[in-house]
Amino acid sequence: MSHNIHYNSQTGRYSFFSVKEKAWHSLGQIVQDYPTSEQAIKHAGLDFQVIKCPLFATDSENENISFTENIPVPDYFANIRTDNNAVLGVVGKDYQIVQNRDAFTFFDSIVGGGHGILYETAGALGNGERIFITAKLPDYIRVGNGDDITEKYIFLTTSHDGSGSITAAFTPIRIVCQNTLNASLKNMSNVIRIRHTAGAMQRLENAHRVMGIANTLSNQLEFIFNQWAKIRVKDEEVKKLIELALCPNKETLSNLKNDNQDELSTVFKNMVDDAFLYAMVSESQQMATAKGTLFGAYNAVTGYFQNVRKYKNEEAKLQSIILGGNAHLKSQKAFDLCTSFANCGEDAFLLN
C-alpha cells in the first residue's frame, strides 16, 4: 500500500495518530484532545525500543561452502525492535540509535518541559524503521487584522535503518487553506540534519536551541508578511512571479526573458496556468490580505504545491514540500522574489 504506515500485528493497530483531523488514508487513531508526549508515543505506536545486535554469517546453502559455527561480521550490526524482534536495518559500528522517546524530548525542550507544545500527528513507516512527528508551537503569525493566521509547526523525522539523518524543520502552516509556507529567512536555517553517529544525542539536544531561535524569528516573518499584504500587485506581475519561481532551468529562463512563449514546454506552461488559476479563484486567495497583494502572490506558489500539484503519494508530497525537495526550493525562490519585489518593484523580476 502506498501509505506505508506500519501495521502492528500484535496490537492490531496502525502506527499513526492525528488530532481531530481524519487520519492519514483513514488509518490510525484520531484523538480529540492534544496529547502529552507520553500519550502521543502510545497513540502513534512508537512506544518501542531499538537495540544494535551483532551480525553473524550462518551456514551457507552453497554446497561448496560449509562451516559449523556462526561467523561474526565485523563492524556491522542489526537494528532490532525489542517488542517484536523485527530487523529494521543493518548499520555500521559508529551508528548511534536515537530512540523514539528522545525525538519527543526534542520537541518538549523547545518550549521548556513540554508546556504549550501541541502534538498534531506522529507515526511509523514500514516496519517502524522511519518515524515522523509534527507538533504545533504555542503561538502564531497574524497577517492583516488577524483573520489570516499562520500557525507554526516543527516537523521531525528519523530512521532506524541507517538510511537517513535526523531531520527537523520549522514549517509555518497557513491554516485557512492548510497552505505550507516554507520560507527561510536570510541567515536562518529552515532545516536541521543530524547524522546517526557518536554525539547525535548531544547534537539533537543542542538543535532544540536553534529551532527555538527559528521560532522567535517568526516575529520577523510576521512583519514581512504584513508588509507584503500592503503591497499591491497586478495580475501580470503575479503571473511573472509564478513563472520565475517555477522556472526549471536556464533555457526556460532565457525564453521567459526573451518572451519566447512558443519555446516554453507544455508541462511548464500548464504548471504556471494552474498556479495562476489558484491565485485568482481559490477561496483563501480572496481574503483581503491575499487578493491583489504580494503576500497573495507568494501564497499562489506555495498553495499550488500544497493544494493543486499531484504527487505519487503522501510521502512524496512530504519529501517535496518539507524535506528540501522541488516544492521546497521553488517556494524559497518565490520568497526571494517577493523580497526583491518589495525592495525594487517590478525591476526585481528583470534581474532574474
- How much is the pLDDT for 82? 94
More confident residue, 314 or 119: 119
Cβ neighbors of 269 (< 8 A, separation 6 or more) are: 261
**Do 276 and 325 sit in the same domain of this protein?**
yes
| Rg for the chain, CA atoms, rounded | 23
Whether 138 is in a domain gets the answer: yes
Whether 65 is in a domain gets the answer: no
Position 71 pLDDT exceeds 90? no
**Do 114 and 217 sit in the same domain of this protein?**
yes
Report how many domains make up the chain.
2
**Do 209 and 276 sit in the same domain of this protein?**
no
- How much is the pLDDT for 115? 54
Which residue among 172, 189, 222 closes a domain?
A: 222
**Do 183 and 293 sit in the same domain of this protein?**
no
**Do 169 and 242 sit in the same domain of this protein?**
no
Domain that holds residue 275: 230-350
Position 188 pLDDT exceeds 50? no
User: Which of these, 228, 340, 201, 248, lies nearest to 289 by C-alpha position?
Assistant: 228
Cβ neighbors of 188 (< 8 A, separation 6 or more) are: 213, 214, 217
Average pLDDT over residues 187-199: 66
Residue 330's Cβ-side half-sphere holds a number of Cα atoms within 13 Å equal to 27
When pLDDT is cut at 50, 70 and 90, the band that residue 187 belongs to is very low
**Do 214 and 237 sit in the same domain of this protein?**
no
**Do 286 and 216 sit in the same domain of this protein?**
no
**Do 282 and 316 sit in the same domain of this protein?**
yes
Which residue among 172, 196, 222 closes a domain?
A: 222
Whether 309 is in a domain gets the answer: yes
237-293: per-residue pLDDT in tens?
889 899 998 888 899 888 888 888 888 899 989 989 998 988 887 777 777 777 888
- How much is the pLDDT for 145? 65
**Do 246 and 319 sit in the same domain of this protein?**
yes
**Do 37 and 165 sit in the same domain of this protein?**
yes
Whether 283 is in a domain gets the answer: yes
